[in-house]
Amino acid sequence: MTPHLTSPQTSVAPVSVGLIGLGAMGMGMATSLRRAGYLVHAYDLRPGVAAEFASQGGVACSSLQELGEACSVVVSVVLNAAQVEAVLHGAGDSAQGSRGVLAAMRPGATFVMCSTVDPARSIAFESQAQARGVHYVDAPISGGAVRAAKGELTIMSSASAQAYEAAGPVLDAMAAKVYRLGDRAGMGSKVKIINQLLAGVHIAAAAEAMALGLREGVDANALYEVITHSAGNSWMFENRMAHVLAGDYTPLSAVDIFVKDLGLVLDTARASKFPLPLSATAHQMFMQASSAGYAHEDDSAVIKIFPGIKLPRGSAD
Amino acid sequence: MTPHLTSPQTSVAPVSVGLIGLGAMGMGMATSLRRAGYLVHAYDLRPGVAAEFASQGGVACSSLQELGEACSVVVSVVLNAAQVEAVLHGAGDSAQGSRGVLAAMRPGATFVMCSTVDPARSIAFESQAQARGVHYVDAPISGGAVRAAKGELTIMSSASAQAYEAAGPVLDAMAAKVYRLGDRAGMGSKVKIINQLLAGVHIAAAAEAMALGLREGVDANALYEVITHSAGNSWMFENRMAHVLAGDYTPLSAVDIFVKDLGLVLDTARASKFPLPLSATAHQMFMQASSAGYAHEDDSAVIKIFPGIKLPRGSAD
């Protein structure tokens, strides 16, 4: 899974790839694609953001239509399913109703959907794309902004063989690992949802454990040292409790992301009436943190729902 | 923290160490102590078990009194606080009432308590030992039978300086890592309890995630591969879901261990009226598994509480 530096079907002009949504993740992915030799067309709802990206190379598009017409592969990196819907079909309800990207894409082009969404929604998006002759890759991403900028994301994907043939090198240019989990949309999103189930429960469990330690007078740094070398460790405990020890709740990923993502987990399971007791409990904890005023703090701020403890305050203490 | 092969205060006879409770963990620890050069006195309630150990070297004791009189350091590796109580003070209620080890130990000797217990109980045990001039080490263990046999346990300990001076080399002979977390009993047990909180929640969360994947038609092996390389991973997911994939519920650690240990976690928090939403939920899941007939299966059998899924059955499938 080494990145393809150039696309095999051209030795004259670089392949045009579209990147929609230049947030913390999308900007890094666009940069990785440019580094891999692609001509990157970029679009972002916020005026000027695409132009700023293009000042280093690439093309700023002023509309989804312009981007869709220019690119054989379009990568969408937006916040949620509603935004994917607007990217595909346009925000037609508004007075300034814009066309979506799908109507502008050529048959045989490929749309890559990188958001974390209900798997049923991704399956529907694939049908809408295929109805227009556009290939579709269900391709939720994981790894954070730093790894996005390095082209070292993890992509949990599923797609048809034709879609992979068209978009495979583009996926490889953005990721250290591209998991191919099935031959149509849905499996990528399902696995991503299950990863989010574990990530969310583990963050809330880490907070609960650290909170009990503080309540019981255990030294927080010693507790961190022991747990990270014991069977109670998780990737999230090690990563997020470092924020708590530092007293730094600058949002790398915010509380409200897990309000959303654990909500998607529960929606998915509810559709087949499947019980998820820990996910439901963790979701309540993140909603409690959000309502208490910590919605936009780092997700480790879920520890602030625990009463009767004094949190570490880092160097400011 | 390299093991001390001999104790510095003697160049003639090896130091006598007592080991009470030759179960899966205790047998391995006794073997590690013997390998480190100690003369190990062993006692187990089950007739013949100590004699079998001693046939390879060491001394089989027929009573706690005999062991207590012979040893300067006594290591207790029994199941729970009630058994520690019986080890210390004897099972005096029965018609065949036996004396405990504490009355037989010399002043200045040291008792090492390796069970997972309510920290308040360990604090009380220390007081009882000190009232008789016996040092006490709060020393819960982690790592499993294989590491016990190799002398590579993790010990989460707290004790007075005198207790550490007496028992430190003995602890080092049994462990790859001895955490010293405070100068009296309680902190070792608190950190161990918090590790069990995380371990129990993570096993139940792993089961919940894998169950959702099976419900959604995700390939279980692919899900394991992705999660163990993603931010949703935990030590327990990686370890215990391998049992589920193999369809092998042979108990390395049984469901009822977490019924007990999460119960201890909740007891500890209840004493200060501290809420633990995820621990309480996970405890209910293990109790559901226990009542459903899986009490003595591997703790990963908590996945069997999820309805409407078909579990992998390993090579027998």
Q: Give the domain CATH number at B32.
A: 3.40.50.720
What pLDDT was estimated at residue A12?
55
Residues B160, B200 share a domain: no
* Closest residue in chain B to residue A206, using alpha carbons only: B198
Q: What is the pTM of this model?
A: 0.92
B240 in Cβ contact with B203 (< 8 Å): yes
**Which residues of A are less than 8 Å from B279 in CB distance?**
208
Q: What is the pLDDT of residues B22-45, one digit of tens each?
A: 999 999 999 999 999 999 999 999
- Specify whether B255 is located in the same domain as B218: yes
Whether B274 and A308 lie within 8 Å, measured CB to CB: yes
Residue of A142, A212, A225, A236 to mutate, interface with B, max B Cβ within 10 Å: A212
What are the CB-based long-range contacts (under 8 Å, 24+) for B247-252?
B247/B311, B247/B312, B247/B313, B247/B314, B247/B315, B247/B316, B247/B317, B248/B298, B248/B314, B249/B294, B249/B297, B249/B298, B249/B300, B249/B301, B250/B297, B250/B298, B251/B296, B251/B297, B251/B298, B251/B299, B252/B144, B252/B145, B252/B298
Burial of B101 (0-12, 13-18, 19+ CB in 10 A): buried
**A146 interface with B at CB cutoff 8 Å:** no
Count the Cβ atoms, other than its own, within 10 Å of residue B62.
11
Rg value, chain A, Cα: 21
pLDDT at B91: 83
How many residues does the structure list for chain A? 317
Q: Is A86 helix (H, G, I), strand (E, B) or coil?
A: helix
Q: Which residues pair with B39 in a beta bridge?
A: B16
Tens of pLDDT, residues A223-235: 999 999 999 999 9
**Whether residues B64 and B198 fall in one domain:** no
Instruction: From chain A, pick out residues whose CB is under 8 angstroms from the CB of B148.
Output: none
Q: Tell me the residues of chain A between 270 and 289 that have a Cβ less than 8 Å away from chain B.
A: 272, 274-279, 281-282, 284-285
B114 is written with which tokens? 């390796």
Contact B208 A272 (CB under 8 A): no
**pLDDT averaged over chain B?**
93
What are the pLDDT digits (tens) for B224-280? Answer: 999 999 999 999 999 999 999 999 999 989 999 999 999 999 999 999 999 999 999
B180 within some domain: yes
d(CA A300, CA A204): 8
Looking at chain A, the number of H-run helices and the number of E-run strands are: 12, 9
- Separation in Å, CA of B155 to nearest CA in chain A: 10
- B10 in any annotated domain: no
Asked if B155 and B109 sit in the same domain, the reply is: yes
Chain B: give the shortest CA distance to residue A198, in Å: 5
Q: Are A272 and B215 in contact (CB < 8 Å)?
A: yes
Inter-chain touch B234–A239, beta carbons under 8 Å: no
Let me know if B92 is exposed, middle or buried by CB neighbors in 10 A (0-12, 13-18, 19+): exposed
Mutation target vs B (from A25, A187, A191; most B CBs, 10 A cutoff): A191
B232 has a chain A CB within 8 A of its CB: yes
For the residues of A122-156, what is the DSSP string, one character each?
HHHHHHHHHTTT-EEEE--EESHHHHHHHT-EEEE
Q: Output the six-digit token pair for B20.
A: 């009470």
Our count of domains for chain A comes to 2
The SS3 of residue A41 is strand
Work out the minimum CA distance from A312 to partner chain B, whole angstroms.
18
Q: Is the pLDDT of residue A1 over 80?
A: no
> Does residue B5 register a pLDDT over 60?
no
Q: Is B103 exposed, middle or buried (0-12, 13-18, 19+ CB in 10 A)?
A: middle
Token pair recorded at residue B44: 């187990």
B residues 82-141 lying closer than 8 A (beta carbon) to A: 119
Q: Say yes or no to pLDDT of B173 above 90.
A: yes
In this structure, what CATH number is given to the domain that contains residue A274?
Answer: 1.10.1040.10
Give residue B298's pLDDT.
97
Residues 6 or more apart whose Cβ sits within 8 Å of residue A143: A152, A153, A154, A176, B231
Q: What three-state secondary structure class fits B228?
A: coil
- Higher-confidence residue: B174 or A143? B174
Residue A5 placed within a domain: no
CA distances (Å), origin B299, targets B6, B77, B95, B236: 39, 21, 37, 11
Tens-digit pLDDT profile for residues A78-129: 999 999 999 999 986 544 557 999 999 999 999 999 999 999 999 999 999 9
Sign of the C-alpha dihedral computed for residues A203, A209, A210 and A214 taken in this order: positive
B192 is a catalytic site residue: yes
Residue-level pLDDT at A14: 75
Q: Looking at residues A27-39, what average pLDDT do you find? A: 97
Q: Which residue has the higher pLDDT, B313 or A84?
A: A84
Chain B interface includes A63 (CB < 8 A): no
Residue A6 domain flag? no
Beta pairing partners, A20: A43, A76
Residues A25 and A58 in one domain: yes
Q: Are residues B210 and B173 in the same domain?
A: no
- Tell me how close the Cα of B6 comes to any Cα of chain A, in angstroms: 28
Mean pLDDT rounded to a whole number for chain A: 93
Do B269 and A199 make contact, defined as CB atoms within 8 angstroms? no
In-domain check, residue B4: no
Q: How many CB atoms lie within 10 A of CB B165?
A: 12
**A279 and A154 in a common domain:** no
Among residues A58, A88, A89, A86, which one has the least CA distance to residue A74? A88
Tokens standing for residue B125:
């045990």
Q: How confident is the model at residue A248 (pLDDT cuts 50, 70, 90)?
A: very high
Query: CB–CB of B190 and A199 under 8 A?
Result: no
B124 burial (CB, 10 Å; 0-12 / 13-18 / 19+) is middle
Chain B hits for A118, CB-CB cut-off 8 Å, are none
Which band of pLDDT confidence, cut at 50, 70 and 90, is reported for residue B95? very low
Whether residue B89 sits in one domain with residue B195? no
Report how many Cβ contacts below 8 Å link chain A to chain B.
206
Pairwise CA distance, residues A80 & A134, whole Å: 21
**Chain A residues with beta carbon closer than 8 angstroms to that of B118:** none
Tokens of A114: 């990188």
- What's the mean pLDDT in B125-148? 96
Q: Give all strands (DSSP E) within chain B, no chain letters.
A: 16-20, 39-43, 59-60, 73-76, 110-113, 135-138, 141-142, 153-159, 175-180
Residue A5: per-residue pLDDT: 46
Are A201 and B205 in contact (CB < 8 Å)? yes
Do B82 and B219 fall into the same domain? no
* Rounded Cα gap, residues B259 and B304, in angstroms: 15
* A248 against A8, higher pLDDT: A248
Say if B7 falls within a structural domain. no
Partners of B158 in beta bridges: B138
**In a domain? residue A227:** yes
More confident residue, A13 or B90: B90
Q: Are residues A167 and A211 in the same domain?
A: no
Separation between Cα atoms, residue B96 and residue B112, nearest integer Å? 26
Residue B233 falls inside a structural domain: yes
**Average of per-residue pLDDT across B73-100:** 86
Which residue range is the domain that position A271 belongs to?
191-316
Alpha-carbon span B129 to B106, nearest angstrom: 11
Tokens of B255: 């469901």
Nearest Cα of chain A lies from the Cα of B196 at a distance, in angstroms, of 7
Same domain assignment for residues B198 and B163: no
Domain boundary among B154, B185, B216: B185
Q: Are residues A106 and A202 in the same domain?
A: no
| Last residue of one domain, picked from the residues A131, A154, A185 | A185
Q: Residue B1 pLDDT more than 90?
A: no
Catalytic residue among A150, A177, A192, A310: A192
DSSP string, B160-196: -HHHHHHHHHHHHHHEEEEEE--SSTTHHHHHHHHHH
Q: How far is B125 from chain A (nearest CA, A)?
A: 19
CB distance A63 to A5 below 8 Å: no
Residue ending a domain, among B130, B157, B185, is B185
Specify which of A151-155, B10-14, B96-100 reaches the highest per-range mean pLDDT. Answer: A151-155
The alpha carbon of A172 is separated from its chain's Cα centroid by a whole number of angstroms, namely: 16
* pLDDT given at position B317: 41
pLDDT digits (tens, 9 = 90+) for A270-281: 999 999 999 999
Confidence of residue A15 (pLDDT cuts 50, 70, 90): confident
Residue A192: pLDDT band with limits 50, 70, 90: very high
